[in-house]
Chains A and B, each alone.
Chain A
Amino acid sequence: NAGVTQTPKFQVLKTGQSMTLQCAQDMNHEYMSWYRQDPGMGLRLIHYSVGAGITDQGEVPNGYNVSRSTTEDFPLRLLSAAPSQTSVYFCASSYSPWTGALYEQYFGPGTRLTVT
């Protein structure tokens, strides 16, 4: 199994540009989530999904959109990039949808995004 994969590894955007961060998992996990990691702030939840067609907002959803059309994929879209979105983004998945946070979460390697 490849586990959780994320592309790209690095990205530089100009303010106002849009892009999609890709996330895929091959473990048939129902629960998937996106976090951003900023120095001294730990990880903060952006959006999560408990199954195909079901998404919800986390702690810091503004400026981001998600969709979940398949179990495997959970892309994160930046609509109009801002310097405040410079961060490292992690996708994670977990076994159970309804108690997903009670199970081990598997994290991808991350995408380092810089917005100038």
Chain B
Amino acid sequence: AQSVAQPEDQVNVAEGNPLTVKCTYSVSGNPYLFWYVQYPNRGLQFLLKYITGDNLVKGSYGFEAEFNKSQTSFHLKKPSALVSDSALYFCALNSGYALNFGKGTSLLVTP
């Protein structure tokens, strides 16, 4: 079965520090991976995706993600966190006509 896992329910980081939100995947064949962000009481917003090509994918709001095939991971990163980055982050894997979402990781950036 194709799935993604987000091993951390919550990540805390101080403003200005680098942040990483982890995602691992399980798929037969090539993975198509996405990151979405959800701010309180809002719908999800697309951040970035990996389809093929460079293992480092750049996305919106200064986020990037590193695809690692040997470790089956697609971790979301940002060099310097902002308080406004505090939100719920979802990793997702393409599965036919749908996306399989992870359970989400709550990111809290403290001043």
Listed in ascending order, the chain A residues whose CB lies under 8 Å from chain B are: 4, 31, 33, 35, 40-45, 48, 50, 56, 58-59, 90, 92, 100-102, 104-110
Contact = CB atoms under 8 A, between A and B. Distances in A.
B56 interface: no
Contacts of A110: 41-43
B50 to A, nearest CB: 11
A68 to B, nearest CB: 13
A107 B90 CA distance: 13
Contacts of B41: 109-110
Interface residues of B, number: 22
A56 B101 CA distance: 18
A42 B95 contact: no
Nearest to A90: B43
Contacts of A108: 43
A6 to B, nearest CB: 8
A109 B43 contact: yes
Contact of B46 (A42, A43, A102, A105): A105
Contact of B102 (A35, A42, A48, A90): A42
